[in-house]
Amino acid sequence: MLELDQLIHEARTRAAASESLAALDEVRVHYLGKKGVLTEQLKVLGSLPAMDRPAAGQRVNRAKQAITELLDARRHTLEEQALAEQLAADAVDVTLPGRGQEPGGMHPVTRILERVQALFTTLGFRVEVGPEIEDEFHNFDALNFKPAHPARAEMDTFYLKDRPLLLRTHTSPVQIRALLKYGAPLRVIAPGRTFRHDYDVTHTPMFHQVEGLLVDKGVSMAHLRGTLTDFLQRFFEKDDLKLRFRPSYFPFVEPGAEVDISCIFCDGSGCRVCKHAGWLEVLGCGLVHPNVLETCHVDTERYSGWAFGVGIERLGMLRYGINDIRMNYENDLRFLRQFR
C-alpha cells in the first residue's frame, strides 16, 4: 500500500493550489473518483492477508475522510471568495442620481371621453353603453335606414361571418337600446368604440364616438342648439366660440344638421387647419325621426327628441393639436408622454 500520509499531504497541497471550483473538482476526482487513487487502494485490500485487512481498511477510510474534509474546506473558501468578488463587482454606486419613477398618464382619447361625459352628466344625462358587436336591426333598420338606401352602403361596415352581426359603425344604436329599455322621457350619453373600413390621416378603422340623446315634451331644434353651444364652448373653454348648423342628411333625424365651430386656431379668420374656411366640422345631429321613436314605442304625439354624435379622436385632434389621427394608436411613448 502507498504511504497514505504522503497521499493526504499531496492532496492538501494540490487543493490549496486550485484557484477555481472546477480545478478543485479535478483534484477530488483524482483521489476520490471511481478510478481515483484512494478507490484503487480499497480494491487492493482484497489481496492482503485476512488478518491485515481490517486495519488496512480503516487506514484507507480515514485517509479518504481526511481528503474529503480538506477538499470541503477548500471549496468553502473558494465559494466565499467568488461571492465576495461578485458582491464587489455588483456594488451599487449610491452617489449616482436615481432613475426616478415615471408617472403613467391617461390616453388622450380617454381624457376626451371623460371630459365629454363629465360635461353631460352634470346636465342630468345618464351614461349608457351598448355592445360593439351589433346587429343590422339596431345599427340600421331601427334607425330608419331603408334596406336599399345608399346611406347603408356608405357606412363602410365590417360585417361578421354570421350576418346580420356587424361591428357597429356608430354609437347611434345605443339610442335604440336606451329608448327600448327606459322609454321617454330620457337623457343619455353613450360613449364607445365604433368601426368603419377606412384608413388615412383622419380615419382609423376603430375610433370613438359619444352619442347624446334627449327625449322629452316640447323638445326643439332651439333646445339642441342651446345645449350644443354650451357644451362646445365649455369643451374648448371659449365663451365666444360660434356654431354653424348646416343642413345634412342622416336617416334617423329630421331635420338633420352638421355642426361647424368657428376655427379655434384662427378664430375664424382662416388658417391651415380650417383650410382657410374659418370653420371646423365637429359633429352630426338633428331631431329624432318619428319613425325611430315609433319603433321604440315612444308616443310621438307627446314626445320629441334630439340626438347628436361626435367623434372623440376628432375633438382630441382639435384640442391637443394632433395632426394625424393614427398617432393615437401607434403606442409611441414620445406622443403618449405628452398627456401625463
For residue 199, the minimal CB distance to ligand PHE (Å) is 17
Of 71 and 287, which has the nearer Cβ to ligand PHE?
287
Of 78 and 282, which has the nearer Cβ to ligand PHE?
282
Of 144 and 262, which has the nearer Cβ to ligand PHE?
144
Handedness of CA 228, 224, 189, 317 (dihedral sign): negative
- How far is Cα 151 from Cα 116, in angstroms, rounded to an integer? 27
Residue 251's CB is within 10 A of a number of other CB atoms, namely 18
Q: Strands, DSSP E only, in 55-132?
A: 126-127
For residue 262, the minimal CB distance to ligand PHE (Å) is 21
For residue 158, the minimal CB distance to ligand PHE (Å) is 15
- What are the residues binding ligand PHE (CB under 6 A)? 170, 172, 250, 253, 256, 284-286, 307-309
- How far is Cα 276 from Cα 92, in angstroms, rounded to an integer? 59
For residue 245, the minimal CB distance to ligand PHE (Å) is 12
- Output the residue with the shortest Cβ distance to ligand PHE: 309
Of 60 and 285, which has the nearer Cβ to ligand PHE?
285
For residue 231, the minimal CB distance to ligand PHE (Å) is 14
Reduced to 3 states, what is the DSSP secondary structure of residue 194? strand
Closest C-alpha to 309, from 220, 213, 181, 224: 213
Q: Are 312 and 190 in contact (CB under 8 A)?
A: no
Of 14 and 170, which has the nearer Cβ to ligand PHE?
170
- Exposed/middle/buried for 209, CB within 10 Å: 0-12, 13-18, 19+? buried
